[in-house]
Chains A and B, each alone.
Chain A
Amino acid sequence: MGMNIKINGEDKEMASGLSVAELLEELQIRPARVVVERNRAIVARDASTQLAEGDTLEIVHFVGGG
């Protein structure tokens, strides 16, 4: 069983019941270097945040800028 979530504007099907920590691992993203927002609220980048069907995620980091 999968769940449909939106990550950085892209529709993705991921395994149900994934935590944010597991999602980042799956995407090969280092948790220390990013910030995660779920449905417009900032969430912890660990196993305590469980994802659900229909969630919209933003995973951001710092890039070059003035």
Chain B
Amino acid sequence: MEDWLEVAGKKYRSRLIVGTGKYKDFDETKRAIEVSGAEIVTVAVRRVNITDPNKENLLDYLDPKKYTILPNTAGCYNAEDAVRTCRLAREAGVGKLVKLEVIGDDKTLFPDVPATLEAAKILVKEGFDVLPYITDDPITAKKLEDIGCKAVMPLAAPIGSGLGIRNPYNIRIILEQANVPVIVDAGVGTASDAALAMEMGCHGVLMNTAIAGAKDPILMAEAMRLGIEAGRKAFRAGRIAKKLYATASSPLEGILN
């Protein structure tokens, strides 16, 4: 049976979305992404270094025809900056999909929810396909869906923390009520975290540091791909109920006495 992740009208085979930050170089970025199997990759918008003669560009390593480029608004602390960043990103000609993140505080990197809602309204009105990074709050998720966001992306834990899903119960409530994909964004540490998100029924997982920060990023990229696939298959297969006592696996008839 075909099993697709559908985001903003486009179908993807992979449910893993990866970032491109923190790698040693563009070559490592490219190899890790290839091994991860991801088809959507996030990028940031920054000033060109006008005095540096080295003009290598990330997009020279990531073909926008092969990957869906998902520009983020990382580093924006208010709605205005986030909207400005999205407009610049769209002008680069890689589409209208954006990862909206409006940061509220640089220690936790938790989102500023009111500012995120404000920016989302403007961006949806301007025709962007908005994927907002949010806290694991079902009310915020619902509001963003109502505004017209194409997915909601609750954090598992703070960005780069590697703590895994800290509040699976909230994620479950978000999943229960959402009519758009729920993509766990940020906080994943290892493959089992990604698998758990999938087993819960999340539609996708977005990560960067968990792969780029691993001792062997290429091997971790593969582990994440497998974790996502295993978790998704387990979810679709339907796990057994948890029980306090044993249930014998071998038949009781025919036991020697």
Contacts and interface: CB of A to CB of B under 8 A. Distances in A.
Contacts of A60: 45-48, 88
B74 A66 contact: yes
Contacts of B163: none
Interface in B1-37: 19-23, 26, 29
B57 A35 contact: no
Interface of B: 19-23, 26, 29, 42-48, 50, 53, 55, 57-59, 69, 71-72, 74, 84, 87-89, 91-92, 94, 159, 186, 206-209
Contacts of A63: 20-21, 43-46, 58
B50 A7 contact: yes
A33 B87 CA distance: 15
Contact of A66 (B48, B55, B59, B209): B209
B91 A62 contact: no
Given A61-B45, A61-B46, 16 more contacts: A8-B48, A8-B50, A28-B55, A35-B91, A35-B92, A60-B47, A60-B48, A60-B88, A62-B43, A62-B59, A63-B44, A64-B20, A65-B44, A66-B44, A66-B206, A66-B208
B93 to A, nearest CB: 8
A62 B58 contact: yes
Contacts, number: 97
A63 B208 CA distance: 13
A41 B226 CA distance: 44
A47 interface: no
A61 to B, nearest CB: 5
A40 B81 CA distance: 11
Contacts of A27: 50
Q: Which 8 A-B pairs have the closest CB atoms?
A: A65-B44, A66-B19, A66-B208, A64-B20, A62-B43, A64-B21, A8-B47, A35-B91
Contact of B43 (A8, A42, A58, A64): A64
Interface in A5-21: 7-10
B91 A42 contact: yes
Main secondary structure of the interface of B (DSSP, over half): mixed
A7 B195 CA distance: 46
Q: Which of A8, A9, A27, A60 has the most CB of B within 10 A?
A: A60
Contacts of A9: 47
A62 to B, nearest CB: 4
Contacts of B208: 65-66
Contacts of B48: 8, 29, 34, 59-61
13 contacts: A29-B50, A33-B59, A40-B84, A61-B46, A61-B57, A62-B45, A64-B20, A64-B29, A64-B44, A65-B19, A66-B21, A66-B42, A66-B209
A10 B48 CA distance: 12
B47 A59 contact: yes
B63 to A, nearest CB: 13
Contacts of B59: 33, 62
A37 interface: yes
A55 to B, nearest CB: 14
